[in-house]
Amino acid sequence: MADQSTENNLPLSGIRVVEFTHMVMGPTCGMVLADLGAEVIKVEPMGGDNTRKLLGSGAGFFPLFNRNKKSIALDLQQPQGREVALRLVATADVVSENFKPGTMKKLGLDNASLCKLNERLIYVSHKGFLPGPYDHRTALDEVVQMMGGLAYMTGRPGDPLRAGTSVNDIMGGMFGAIGAMAALMQRAHTGRGQEVQSALFENNVFLVAQHMMQFAVTGKPAAPMPGRISAWAVYDVFTVKDGEQIFLAAVSDTQWKLFCEAFGFADLYADPRLKTNNDRVQARDWMMPILRSRLADRSAADLSAVFEKNGLPFAPITPPEDLFDDPHLRETGGLAPLTLPDGRATQVPLLPLTLGGERPGVRLQPPKLGEHGGELLAELGYDPAQIEALRSAKVTVTS
């Protein structure tokens, strides 16, 4: 089972985060901090975070990236709404935002304004680009994948293709969280906060850095992954019995020996042209058709069993929806119960780490819009009549 303990047992217990975020990048930062025990307060517009209403590939954004958070709805265009926000920020250790450059400054909620009020505040800014020639541009995950080499590497030659998930948004949010935690540690020594900046484009460049360095080392441009020269001889998807597919690998000379012994390929193991991994890489044009032919009548389950018995790398080709039934995830607490905004029960993947042998779990379900507004306003010193006045003036929503 996932860890359902209170925040007191988690490393960021006692840290308050106020986030002005939407979509994926900023909410991911808050989710990481929240899962690790921080009290994360999500400031939403009066109509709610737009991801509450997305369809298709965005339908899962809100419940995934906003668990373990509290929600308060504020109209930041009204002075009363900004006053509430400033009171809230005054209680915070961390502020996180991912709006377009200039938006927070117009609201008086930018780092320069807030750090004057609280020198201990850590301000995490998630943007498309770090400051520089591109910082005025509007960026999306797909934009930076295209301009930053990832789509080029993922697609077939001449057919750039974005990665199959929001890699830069999610990792950009993770780096924002890492920066926030580093700044918290430094504040413990200096007593002062600082601004942390994370960006989609720079995150994407970090992801493709291995290909940049491949060019630096070899002098040869990296080929797109589907057309690349593999570093390993056997490292491919095989189509086998009944049209099933499975990924099989043998990436060292030891694994090649085990592979040949397991399947009775003594002739291939004895072939001097296939002696080392580099030899086999050079021989892939004629070696791989032989392997594909010899394995074609074996079932994926049969191949999996042989590879697992011999400690060889393998993987079934699994669509995401099947992971809800993955035995490893189910038995190790990698999935936790979650209630969707419409009340249906499901499960959600947790952070891919353990703390003291426990997976940080779900303490708070994805919040309803303004679900915690009343209690937060009361904590900030607003009495019931003032809260009702804010509600009547459509400055806030409370549920």
Catalytic one of 35, 110, 169, 325: 169
Q: Greatest CA separation found in the chain?
A: 87
Q: What SS3 state is found at 241?
A: helix
Instruction: Report the 10 Å Cβ neighbour count for 106.
Output: 11
Which alpha helices (DSSP H) does the chain contain, by range?
A: 25-35, 61-65, 79-90, 103-106, 111-117, 141-147, 150-154, 167-190, 200-207, 209-218, 253-263, 266-270, 277-282, 284-295, 300-309, 327-331, 373-379, 384-392
Nearest to 349 by CA among 10, 37, 26, 2: 2
Query: Is residue 114 a contact partner of residue 125, using CB atoms and an 8 Å limit?
Result: no
Active site residue 169: yes
Q: Cα–Cα distance between 334 and 313 in angstroms, integer? A: 22
Instruction: Report the 10 Å Cβ neighbour count for 269.
Output: 14
Which alpha helices (DSSP H) does 39-101 contain, by range?
A: 61-65, 79-90
Catalytic residues: 169
